[in-house]
Structure formats: structure tokens, C-alpha cells
Amino acid sequence: MSHPSFPGLSQGVSELRASEIRELLKLIARPEIISFAGGIPDPALFPLDAIGKAYQAVLQDQAAARDAFQYSISEGYPPLREWITGYLARNGITATSEEVLITSGAQQALDFIGRAFIEPGDGVVMTSPSYLGAIQVFGTYRPTFISVPMDDEGAVLSELEAAFRKQPKFFYLTPDFCNPAGITTSLARRRAILELAHRYGVAILEDCPYEELRYENPRIPSFAALEGEYLQQPGNDGRRLVIYVGSLSKVLTPALRIGWICADPALINKLVLLKQASDLHCSTINQMIACEIAKSSHASQVEKLRKAYKERRDVMLEALERCLPKEVRYTHPDGGMFIWLEFPEGIDGTELLAEAVKDIQVAFVPGSAFYATEPKRNTARLAFSLGEPERIREGIERLAALLQNKLRANRAA
Ligand SMILES: Cc1ncc(COP(=O)(O)O)c(C=O)c1O
């Protein structure tokens, strides 16, 4: 549904559009639909006992409860920042609390970085496809998006270098099991991208909400960890160009809205001022609860989620392998929540969704939503994080049959 514009809106805001896909997805909340659309954690896996205990502990302690409901500092709750620096250290990133700002989810981190860097027309490099929420939030600052395609090791270097020559403000990517394509940037590609970034002086914005959800192969160091090593080497340029964004949403629970930015303190100091101007600070009680459950349950949650989501991924991959017409290509993610489909030219993901919802009661997200420029319409994102394995298998079998029929009809035409 389109709404009339309101007089006086800025160009960035008046150009905002509700996505057609969001409208379509509203139709799929019916229980008979097998949905691969929602790229969200399974609420049945939330650590509700630990959350309950953490709330009780705070509320039963009068002094803690008073603090929990009071204003607090913009940088974030100090014990939570300390837990985050410990988490980062376990993953090879050396950072002090002064290099960490707590944000309202990774989403707010992306917003602040967009606000801090982008003036209208500035270049912003995105992988193609990219996380829809990043495209949307950077879009409000009216950059010139430069899209770089990916192969199965990540962004294609020759295209990335061409993009960096245009002196963009930053390169945004999700290195691990990216949303939407499920692709992981290989170690060799990370090193090469880091080298390019330093050669051209372009910041790398790495968004890492899924990094713990790995189901096979060893972990690959983040850009922040690799840059730490680079900065130890003689003759390095001394610049810290990597901005790391983390989140507790996928491992603990999204509703606490806890994310963070780890970066050069010169940048963090400015972002703290943005945080102050924007919403003063993240909810104090949420940060206290997040800190408690991070300490008590992060490791066990990671283990639990890996087991559950791996099983679902495996079921989806097995069904795709068995049933999907050979002309349809799909990714094999090492972790995360998403598998990406590429249909032969001529099959439009949005049209296919409308048919799938109506005829076979299956939903997914058409891939065209995930492009900052020049959408590829013959694509789709499947999420495997929700749903019982049996339903996943059934949904893929139905989708594969629909695709077989369509391809047969296309061949006959
Ligand atoms: C790649 C990516 N970045 C950021 C976010 C936002 O996460 P948060 O809940 O931490 O704001 C999401 C959520 O789906 C995501 O997929």
C-alpha cells in the first residue's frame, strides 16, 4: 500500500519505501504455511531459565535493582563491556573496554557508522547480495552504493579493487555465513581484502552476528583479528581500518537488543557522542541481564544452537540435493541460518513466492530484496533456523516439485 508523502520530509526519508516483500511476507503468518522466510533465531532455543534467574537476582537485590532502572553511561554497562573484551580476546581480537561501544543491536551500530561516515553521494561498497537492513539504513544517508559480486570465497578481488579506486567511505560485509547468501569469506580472501583496504585506505566494516554459529570447518579469524596481526608487523601503515560489529541477538536473544562496535578509540569516542545524542544509552536492565546470561550461558547456548541448527541445515541440504532440478544452484553454508538459491534466468523469485504461497503453502524471501544496486531477480533466500526437520524436508520437496513444473513449462514454451 502506498502512502502520500508528508510535506518537508528530507530526501533520504521521502525516498524510503516499505519493501514489496515485507507486504508479501505479512500473508505468510498462517500456520499451514511452511516458511523459510524468517531469518530469525528459534525462540524455543532461548535460554529462558537463565534469563529468569538473572532478572530475579537483579530484582531481589535492592541496590542492583535501583541501578538497573537508572540512567547509565552512553559507552555501555562496564561489566558487559568487559565480558565483550574477553569474548573478543578468545577470538584473537585484542581490545580494551575503551575500544568497545555497546549499541542497541548490531542494527544501531550500522546506523551510527552510516551516520558518522556517509555524506550524500559518498561511495559505500557492499557485497552483492548484502544484508537488507544494512542496505536500508545506509540508504537513509543517501550514499552511492557500489556493489561487488561474490564467488564462493567472498567478494571478487578485481571488482573490489575497482570499487576501492573510487575512494569509497567503507566496505561492508558479513564475513561468516553471510545473510543472505550463506557464503563465508575464505582466509586467503580476507588477507587479500585487508591488504587492499590498507593499500587504498578504505575502512572495512565487518558485521559478525553469526560467527559463533559454525557447523563445520575451523573458525576463520575475523578481519579485526587479522588486522591486529598486521599491525604487529614491521613497516605496517599503523592505521586501524577495521570496524568490527558484534551482537548477542543470535546466540542469546534479540529482544535484549545488545550489539557492539569495536574499533579505533578515535572512532569510538565520536560514536559515543552519537549514542548520547541518539538515545543516551542502551537499557540499563537489559545490559545487566545480558551480562549475567552471557557469563552463565553463552558457551552452552553456542553448543546447543550449533547442534540444533546444524541438523536443520543438513536436512535442508539433503532435500535440496535430492529433489532440486539440476539447473537450480544453491550454496552450502558452513554455518549461520541461510541457503541461497539461484534459478535459471526467467524464473523470478517474487513471482515464484506468490505462486508458492498460493499453490504449495511454502514461503521464502525473493533474493531481489538483498541488492543495493541491480537486483538479480532469479534468486531466493531460504532460512533453516525455524521449524522441525520433517517440515523443512516437506517444504523443500514441495518447492522442488513446483520448480520442476515451472522449468518443464518453460522448456515446452
Ligand atoms: C547481517 C546482520 N547484521 C545485523 C543484524 C541485526 O542484528 P541485531 O539484532 O544485533 O540488531 C542482522 C539481523 O538479522 C543481520 O543478519
pLDDT attached to residue 400? 97
pLDDT attached to residue 410? 83
Q: Is the CB of 127 under 6 A from ligand 1?
A: no
pLDDT attached to residue 7? 86
Any idea what DSSP says for residue 216? S
CA of 359 to the centre of ligand 1 (A): 31
Choosing from 247, 251, 385 the residue with most ligand 1 atoms within 8 A of its CB, the one to mutate for a pocket test is 247
Cell of 222: 575475523
The 10s digit of each residue's pLDDT in 142-159 is 999 999 999 999 999 999
How far is Cα of residue 89 from the mean position of the Cα atoms in its chain? 22
pLDDT attached to residue 27? 66
Q: What is the mean pLDDT of the chain?
A: 94
pLDDT attached to residue 188? 98
CA distance readout (Å), 318 to 106, 121, 218, 341, 387: 32, 45, 22, 14, 16
Q: Is the CB of 246 under 6 A from ligand 1?
A: no
**Whole-angstrom distance, CA of residue 334 vs CA of residue 269:** 36
More confident residue, 17 or 253: 253
Question: HEC profile for 11-37?
Answer: HHHHCCCCCHHHHHHHCCCCCCCEECC
Q: Residue for cell digits 508528508? A: 6
Cell of 273: 557522542
pLDDT category, 11, cuts 50, 70, 90? confident
pLDDT surpassing 80 at residue 63: yes
Within 10 angstroms of residue 33's Cβ, the number of other Cβ atoms is 17
pLDDT category, 15, cuts 50, 70, 90? confident
Within 10 angstroms of residue 14's Cβ, the number of other Cβ atoms is 12
Classify residue 121 as left (phi > 0), alpha (psi -120 to 50) or beta. left
pLDDT surpassing 50 at residue 32: yes
pLDDT category, 12, cuts 50, 70, 90? confident
pLDDT category, 29, cuts 50, 70, 90? confident
Q: Is the CB of 209 under 6 A from ligand 1?
A: yes
Which one, of 258, 314, 248, 261, lies nearest residue 286 by Cα?
258
Q: Is the CB of 254 under 6 A from ligand 1?
A: yes
257-264 average pLDDT score = 98
Q: Is the CB of 104 under 6 A from ligand 1?
A: no
pLDDT attached to residue 281? 97
pTM assigned to the model: 0.95
**Whole-angstrom distance, CA of residue 230 vs CA of residue 343:** 40
315-322 average pLDDT score = 98
**Whole-angstrom distance, CA of residue 293 vs CA of residue 285:** 12
Which one, of 205, 55, 202, lies nearest residue 130 by Cα?
205
pLDDT category, 113, cuts 50, 70, 90? very high
166-172 average pLDDT score = 98
pLDDT surpassing 60 at residue 2: no
281-296 average pLDDT score = 97
pLDDT surpassing 60 at residue 184: yes
Which one, of 315, 322, 317, lies nearest residue 401 by Cα?
322
The beta strand positions in 326-373, using DSSP E, are: 329-330, 338-342, 362-363, 365-366
Share of the chain above pLDDT 70, in %: 97
Cell of 54: 538473572
Choosing from 110, 131, 206 the residue with most ligand 1 atoms within 8 A of its CB, the one to mutate for a pocket test is 131
**Whole-angstrom distance, CA of residue 176 vs CA of residue 389:** 24
The amino acid sitting at 381 is R
CA of 261 to the centre of ligand 1 (A): 13
pLDDT surpassing 70 at residue 108: yes
52-80 average pLDDT score = 96
CA of 106 to the centre of ligand 1 (A): 5
11-25 average pLDDT score = 73
Look at residue 114 and give its three-state secondary structure: helix
**Whole-angstrom distance, CA of residue 59 vs CA of residue 61:** 5
Any idea what DSSP says for residue 93? -
pLDDT category, 265, cuts 50, 70, 90? very high
Q: Which domains does the chain have, with CATH numbers?
A: 11-47+299-412 (3.90.1150.10), 48-297 (3.40.640.10)
Q: Is the CB of 175 under 6 A from ligand 1?
A: no
**Whole-angstrom distance, CA of residue 395 vs CA of residue 320:** 10
pLDDT surpassing 50 at residue 1: no
CA of 66 to the centre of ligand 1 (A): 31
CA of 107 to the centre of ligand 1 (A): 6
Q: Is the CB of 182 under 6 A from ligand 1?
A: no
End-to-end CA gap in the chain: 34
**Whole-angstrom distance, CA of residue 379 vs CA of residue 343:** 6
CA distance readout (Å), 131 to 96, 224, 311: 29, 20, 24
pLDDT category, 18, cuts 50, 70, 90? confident
Longest distance between any two alpha carbons in the chain, whole Å: 74
The amino acid sitting at 42 is D
pLDDT surpassing 50 at residue 191: yes
